[in-house]
Structure formats: structure tokens, C-alpha cells
Amino acid sequence: MATYVLVHGAWHNGRCWERVVPLLASAGHRVAAPSLTGYGDKAHLLGPEVGLDTHADDIVELITENDLTDVILVGHSYAGLVISSAANRVPERIAHLVYLDAMVPEDGESAVDVQPVTQALIDRAARSGTGWRIPPMPELPPPLGLFGVTDPADVAWLRAMLSDQPVFCLQQPVRLDNPATRAIPRTHIHCVADVPEGITRRPVPPTQPNGTPAQVWELPTGHDCMITMPAELTELLLKLG
């Protein structure tokens, strides 16, 4: 039995994994898909002080308080920074890092460094008067949709779970100063259909930090693959367990 911890990205909450969790669980694995501070059942905690460290704390506390080990830690989008930071604190508990169409930071980088278009969102929030919080991205014309989701029923379901993103999450740098973190195997899963203008993806180095060849898989869908291709995503994740 493997243990999967699934971490949602910006604006989302843990409910976005509802189509993946039962598939992993039915295969006999332990699965946690928490909502980070400020989202879902923790929406009342949203505030300007919520940052990347807050969200890394959420994941580290989940892992340590439940005494989880050999964790396959999956981070979607912004949560690539979250899982990197969490692994830096408890590398001995992490068996694998999965960057799911995610930001992959170097030590000292923020979301703005990894994905420069993020700064435009922060600037827009400042001009509009929302200040420390950035509203969810708007739905775009097909085939882009809402985070790559285009089915009307799915768009409505996704929109109902989205909430504002604190600016501090995108500005706070990640700390990756624990050499033990480099030994953790990594897998990158890229969603390769219809990437919005301005979104860039850094090339994955051919060699992982632990010295082994890089592992990169692709899914022919938009960004929120846990909604659009849950079975296919689960099939890939099961290869790691």
C-alpha cells in the first residue's frame, strides 16, 4: 500500500481531486487531498498573511501528525512550490515528488520567478483594488475554457470551488537548503493541450537532482487534468506506487 498526498494549486481546494481519490483508494492505497489554508473547509482562514510557508506548514503538519512515511507527494500548478518546500522540511518521509503541470522552483525562487506572468496578475489585483487577493482566472473561449476544463457541467462544478489567491503565496520564496531533498525521485507530468498565452514551462533537465534520468510523462489535456482525465492521471500515479 502506498500513501498519496495530493496538493491542489492556486484558487482551487481539495475537492478538485474527487475523481482521482476513489480510483487510488480502490487500488488499495491511502490517499489524502487536503484543502490548503484559505480554501475549502479552511476558507475562513484566508488573509494577507497566508503565504507559501503557510501552505507548506499545512502539508508538513498533515504528514507528521498522521505519521505518514514513504509519501508520494503530488503538487498541481502552484503547489509545485508547496511540495518542494514541504519535502525540504521532512525529506525522510517523502518517497517521490510528482510535479503535475506544476511550477518547479530553485532555492530562493517564488512563483513570480518561476512563472513571470504571475506578476501581471498581482499588478492587476493592485490596480483593481483587490490588493492582497487575486480573483480566480476567468473562463476563456474554447478550447482553453476554465483551467483547461470545457465541459459546461464541469466548468460549473469547478467554478463553485474556486476562491481568491493571496498575493503573498506568489511572492514568498521557497527554501530548498536541505541536501537530503535532492535524493528524492521526481516525476513530471505535463498537460500538453492548449496552453494559454503567456504560460511558460521550464525544460526539465535530463538528469534529476538525485543523478538518475528525468522522468517526464504527458497527458493530452488542459491544465486541470484531475477533472478532465482522472482515470488516465490515476493510471500514471499508480505506476509510482
Taken in order 14, 16, 18, 24, the sign of the CA dihedral is negative
Residue 119 has, within 13 A of its CA and on its CB side, a CA count of 6
Nearest to 15 by CA among 41, 38, 37, 47: 41
User: What's the CA gap between 189 and 100, in Å, rounded?
Assistant: 5
Indicate if 163 belongs to the active site.
no
Single out the catalytic residue among 26, 35, 77, 85: 77
Catalytic sites, residue numbers: 77
